[in-house]
A = this chain, B = another copy of it.
Amino acid sequence: MTTRRPKAELGPAIRAVPLLAADNVTIQLLSTKQRQQLLSIATKVQHPKGQVIYRRGTPGTWLYFCQEGIVKTYRDLPSGTRRITAFLFAHDMFGLAEAGRYVNTAQAVTPVTSYRVAKETLAAVLQQDAALEYHFLAKLAHELRSSQRRAMMLGRRDAAGRLAMFIILMKRHGSERTADDLIRLPMSRSDIAAFLGQSLESISRATTRLTKLGIVQFQGRYAVRVLDPARLEELASNL
Protein backbone atom coordinates (compact mmCIF):
# COMPACT_ATOMS: atom_id res chain seq x y z
CA MET A 1 0.00 0.00 0.00
CA THR A 2 2.04 2.93 -1.19
CA THR A 3 0.77 6.41 -0.66
CA ARG A 4 2.07 8.73 -3.29
CA ARG A 5 3.02 12.23 -2.46
CA PRO A 6 2.63 14.41 -5.52
CA LYS A 7 3.94 17.88 -5.02
CA ALA A 8 0.95 19.60 -6.56
CA GLU A 9 -2.45 18.08 -5.91
CA LEU A 10 -4.35 18.12 -9.13
CA GLY A 11 -7.80 17.35 -7.87
CA PRO A 12 -10.42 15.12 -9.40
CA ALA A 13 -9.89 13.97 -12.93
CA ILE A 14 -12.85 13.45 -15.19
CA ARG A 15 -12.41 11.88 -18.52
CA ALA A 16 -15.10 12.57 -20.98
CA VAL A 17 -15.68 12.29 -24.65
CA PRO A 18 -17.71 15.14 -26.00
CA LEU A 19 -21.36 14.52 -26.66
CA LEU A 20 -22.03 17.37 -28.93
CA ALA A 21 -18.82 18.36 -30.60
CA ALA A 22 -19.34 16.14 -33.57
CA ASP A 23 -15.96 15.04 -34.77
CA ASN A 24 -13.72 15.45 -31.83
CA VAL A 25 -12.63 12.03 -30.73
CA THR A 26 -9.96 13.25 -28.41
CA ILE A 27 -10.36 12.48 -24.80
CA GLN A 28 -10.59 15.71 -22.93
CA LEU A 29 -9.37 16.20 -19.44
CA LEU A 30 -10.25 19.01 -17.17
CA SER A 31 -8.00 21.98 -17.26
CA THR A 32 -5.79 22.52 -14.24
CA LYS A 33 -7.88 25.50 -13.28
CA GLN A 34 -11.08 23.50 -13.41
CA ARG A 35 -9.53 20.73 -11.39
CA GLN A 36 -8.48 23.15 -8.73
CA GLN A 37 -11.93 24.61 -8.65
CA LEU A 38 -13.40 21.17 -8.11
CA LEU A 39 -10.75 20.38 -5.57
CA SER A 40 -11.72 23.38 -3.53
CA ILE A 41 -15.19 22.00 -2.99
CA ALA A 42 -14.34 18.29 -2.95
CA THR A 43 -13.05 15.97 -0.26
CA LYS A 44 -10.69 13.10 -0.83
CA VAL A 45 -12.00 9.86 0.64
CA GLN A 46 -10.42 6.45 1.03
CA HIS A 47 -12.51 3.32 1.06
CA PRO A 48 -11.08 -0.03 2.10
CA LYS A 49 -11.92 -3.01 -0.04
CA GLY A 50 -15.48 -4.16 0.51
CA GLN A 51 -16.71 -1.01 2.18
CA VAL A 52 -20.18 0.20 1.36
CA ILE A 53 -19.88 3.79 0.20
CA TYR A 54 -23.58 4.54 0.23
CA ARG A 55 -26.79 2.58 0.28
CA ARG A 56 -29.74 2.59 -2.05
CA GLY A 57 -32.58 4.63 -0.64
CA THR A 58 -30.48 6.84 1.60
CA PRO A 59 -30.32 10.58 0.91
CA GLY A 60 -28.18 11.18 -2.16
CA THR A 61 -26.12 13.95 -0.73
CA TRP A 62 -22.81 13.35 -2.42
CA LEU A 63 -21.50 12.86 -5.87
CA TYR A 64 -18.34 10.77 -6.13
CA PHE A 65 -15.43 10.72 -8.51
CA CYS A 66 -13.49 7.53 -8.57
CA GLN A 67 -9.85 8.40 -8.61
CA GLU A 68 -8.34 4.98 -8.15
CA GLY A 69 -9.69 1.50 -7.67
CA ILE A 70 -12.95 -0.13 -8.69
CA VAL A 71 -16.44 0.47 -7.35
CA LYS A 72 -19.55 -1.55 -8.00
CA THR A 73 -23.09 -0.22 -7.82
CA TYR A 74 -25.91 -2.67 -7.34
CA ARG A 75 -29.43 -3.38 -6.22
CA ASP A 76 -30.71 -6.31 -4.25
CA LEU A 77 -33.96 -7.62 -5.62
CA PRO A 78 -36.81 -8.88 -3.45
CA SER A 79 -35.95 -12.46 -4.35
CA GLY A 80 -32.50 -12.01 -2.86
CA THR A 81 -30.81 -11.87 -6.24
CA ARG A 82 -28.30 -9.10 -6.72
CA ARG A 83 -28.03 -7.03 -9.87
CA ILE A 84 -24.88 -5.05 -10.45
CA THR A 85 -25.71 -1.99 -12.51
CA ALA A 86 -22.15 -0.88 -13.17
CA PHE A 87 -18.50 -1.16 -12.35
CA LEU A 88 -16.83 2.21 -11.97
CA PHE A 89 -13.17 2.78 -12.70
CA ALA A 90 -10.74 5.64 -12.36
CA HIS A 91 -12.20 8.90 -13.70
CA ASP A 92 -15.76 7.63 -13.52
CA MET A 93 -18.34 9.41 -11.43
CA PHE A 94 -21.10 7.82 -9.43
CA GLY A 95 -23.85 8.74 -7.01
CA LEU A 96 -26.87 8.82 -9.28
CA ALA A 97 -29.98 9.71 -7.34
CA GLU A 98 -33.66 9.97 -8.02
CA ALA A 99 -36.01 12.04 -5.93
CA GLY A 100 -33.10 12.78 -3.63
CA ARG A 101 -32.27 9.14 -2.89
CA TYR A 102 -29.49 6.99 -4.23
CA VAL A 103 -30.89 4.51 -6.71
CA ASN A 104 -28.13 1.96 -6.15
CA THR A 105 -25.83 0.83 -3.42
CA ALA A 106 -22.14 1.53 -4.02
CA GLN A 107 -19.37 -0.65 -2.67
CA ALA A 108 -15.61 -0.71 -3.10
CA VAL A 109 -14.41 -3.78 -4.98
CA THR A 110 -10.77 -2.88 -4.45
CA PRO A 111 -9.33 -0.22 -2.17
CA VAL A 112 -10.71 2.98 -3.60
CA THR A 113 -9.64 6.57 -3.57
CA SER A 114 -12.38 8.97 -4.51
CA TYR A 115 -13.31 12.59 -4.37
CA ARG A 116 -16.71 13.44 -3.12
CA VAL A 117 -18.59 16.69 -3.37
CA ALA A 118 -21.95 17.77 -2.07
CA LYS A 119 -24.36 17.92 -4.96
CA GLU A 120 -25.78 21.21 -3.82
CA THR A 121 -22.34 22.75 -3.90
CA LEU A 122 -21.50 21.25 -7.24
CA ALA A 123 -24.79 22.39 -8.71
CA ALA A 124 -24.07 25.93 -7.62
CA VAL A 125 -20.63 25.84 -9.19
CA LEU A 126 -21.90 24.34 -12.41
CA GLN A 127 -24.55 27.00 -12.77
CA GLN A 128 -21.72 29.50 -12.83
CA ASP A 129 -19.36 27.66 -15.12
CA ALA A 130 -20.88 26.47 -18.37
CA ALA A 131 -17.60 25.08 -19.64
CA LEU A 132 -17.13 22.89 -16.60
CA GLU A 133 -20.73 21.83 -16.75
CA TYR A 134 -20.20 20.84 -20.32
CA HIS A 135 -17.66 18.29 -19.18
CA PHE A 136 -20.26 16.76 -16.95
CA LEU A 137 -22.68 16.63 -19.79
CA ALA A 138 -20.14 14.79 -21.88
CA LYS A 139 -19.33 12.46 -19.05
CA LEU A 140 -22.93 11.62 -18.52
CA ALA A 141 -23.36 10.91 -22.20
CA HIS A 142 -20.46 8.55 -21.91
CA GLU A 143 -22.12 6.75 -19.01
CA LEU A 144 -25.28 6.49 -21.02
CA ARG A 145 -23.44 4.86 -23.87
CA SER A 146 -21.84 2.30 -21.58
CA SER A 147 -25.18 1.57 -20.05
CA GLN A 148 -26.60 0.95 -23.49
CA ARG A 149 -23.68 -1.23 -24.42
CA ARG A 150 -24.28 -3.22 -21.29
CA ALA A 151 -27.96 -3.60 -22.12
CA MET A 152 -26.83 -4.94 -25.47
CA MET A 153 -24.64 -7.40 -23.64
CA LEU A 154 -27.48 -8.54 -21.41
CA GLY A 155 -29.63 -9.22 -24.40
CA ARG A 156 -27.45 -12.15 -25.35
CA ARG A 157 -28.50 -15.54 -24.27
CA ASP A 158 -25.19 -17.31 -24.62
CA ALA A 159 -22.93 -17.39 -21.59
CA ALA A 160 -19.55 -17.71 -23.24
CA GLY A 161 -20.27 -14.74 -25.47
CA ARG A 162 -21.28 -12.58 -22.54
CA LEU A 163 -18.16 -13.47 -20.68
CA ALA A 164 -16.08 -12.68 -23.73
CA MET A 165 -17.67 -9.24 -23.87
CA PHE A 166 -16.97 -8.75 -20.21
CA ILE A 167 -13.32 -9.67 -20.56
CA ILE A 168 -12.94 -7.26 -23.43
CA LEU A 169 -14.70 -4.60 -21.39
CA MET A 170 -12.25 -5.14 -18.56
CA LYS A 171 -9.34 -5.10 -20.92
CA ARG A 172 -10.18 -1.58 -21.99
CA HIS A 173 -10.08 -0.41 -18.41
CA GLY A 174 -6.97 -2.17 -17.25
CA SER A 175 -4.68 -1.69 -20.20
CA GLU A 176 -3.10 1.37 -18.67
CA ARG A 177 -1.75 -0.42 -15.67
CA THR A 178 -1.01 -4.00 -16.61
CA ALA A 179 0.75 -5.84 -19.37
CA ASP A 180 -0.95 -5.94 -22.74
CA ASP A 181 -2.48 -9.35 -22.60
CA LEU A 182 -2.90 -9.83 -18.86
CA ILE A 183 -6.26 -8.60 -17.72
CA ARG A 184 -7.14 -8.21 -14.09
CA LEU A 185 -10.64 -9.14 -12.96
CA PRO A 186 -10.62 -7.97 -9.34
CA MET A 187 -14.27 -8.74 -8.74
CA SER A 188 -15.61 -12.09 -7.62
CA ARG A 189 -17.29 -14.57 -9.92
CA SER A 190 -20.60 -13.83 -8.28
CA ASP A 191 -20.07 -10.15 -9.04
CA ILE A 192 -19.50 -10.99 -12.67
CA ALA A 193 -22.59 -13.17 -12.63
CA ALA A 194 -24.65 -10.42 -11.03
CA PHE A 195 -23.37 -7.99 -13.64
CA LEU A 196 -24.08 -10.26 -16.58
CA GLY A 197 -27.41 -11.35 -15.20
CA GLN A 198 -26.57 -15.03 -15.01
CA SER A 199 -26.03 -17.61 -12.36
CA LEU A 200 -22.68 -18.03 -10.72
CA GLU A 201 -22.45 -21.56 -12.06
CA SER A 202 -22.94 -20.42 -15.64
CA ILE A 203 -20.06 -18.01 -15.31
CA SER A 204 -17.90 -20.70 -13.85
CA ARG A 205 -18.71 -23.06 -16.68
CA ALA A 206 -18.11 -20.32 -19.21
CA THR A 207 -14.65 -19.63 -17.84
CA THR A 208 -13.66 -23.27 -18.03
CA ARG A 209 -15.09 -23.45 -21.53
CA LEU A 210 -13.07 -20.48 -22.70
CA THR A 211 -10.02 -21.98 -21.06
CA LYS A 212 -10.49 -25.41 -22.63
CA LEU A 213 -10.99 -23.79 -26.01
CA GLY A 214 -7.55 -22.28 -25.60
CA ILE A 215 -8.87 -18.76 -25.92
CA VAL A 216 -7.85 -17.56 -22.48
CA GLN A 217 -5.70 -18.76 -19.62
CA PHE A 218 -6.35 -17.90 -16.03
CA GLN A 219 -3.54 -16.76 -13.78
CA GLY A 220 -5.20 -17.46 -10.50
CA ARG A 221 -8.77 -16.27 -10.10
CA TYR A 222 -8.34 -12.62 -10.64
CA ALA A 223 -6.23 -12.38 -13.73
CA VAL A 224 -6.67 -13.74 -17.20
CA ARG A 225 -4.38 -13.85 -20.19
CA VAL A 226 -5.86 -13.71 -23.65
CA LEU A 227 -4.24 -16.33 -25.85
CA ASP A 228 -6.40 -15.93 -28.91
CA PRO A 229 -7.70 -12.36 -29.18
CA ALA A 230 -9.23 -13.01 -32.57
CA ARG A 231 -11.46 -15.80 -31.38
CA LEU A 232 -12.34 -13.88 -28.25
CA GLU A 233 -13.46 -10.95 -30.36
CA GLU A 234 -15.37 -13.27 -32.59
CA LEU A 235 -17.20 -14.81 -29.65
CA ALA A 236 -18.00 -11.39 -28.25
CA SER A 237 -19.28 -9.84 -31.45
CA ASN A 238 -20.91 -13.00 -32.66
CA LEU A 239 -24.68 -12.70 -32.40
Contacts and interface: CB of A to CB of B under 8 A. Distances in A.
Contacts of A81: 239
Contacts of A96: 19, 141, 144-145, 148
Interface residues of A, number: 58
A124 B126 CA distance: 16
Contact of A147 (B99, B120, B151): B151
A98 B17 contact: yes
Interface string A126-169: 11111101101100110111011011101110000000000000
Interface string A10-32: 00000001011111110000000
Interface string A59-92: 1110100000000000101110101011000000
Contacts of A98: 17, 145
A143 B144 contact: yes
| Residue among A81, A103, A131, A151 with most chain B CB within 10 A | A151
A61 B23 CA distance: 9
Given A83-B152, A85-B151, 12 more contacts: A20-B122, A21-B120, A22-B61, A78-B237, A81-B239, A103-B145, A123-B134, A127-B131, A130-B130, A144-B144, A147-B151, A150-B151
Interface of A: 17, 19-25, 59-61, 63, 75, 77-79, 81, 83, 85-86, 96-100, 103-104, 119-120, 122-123, 126-131, 133-134, 136-137, 140-141, 143-145, 147-148, 150-152, 154-156, 197, 237-239
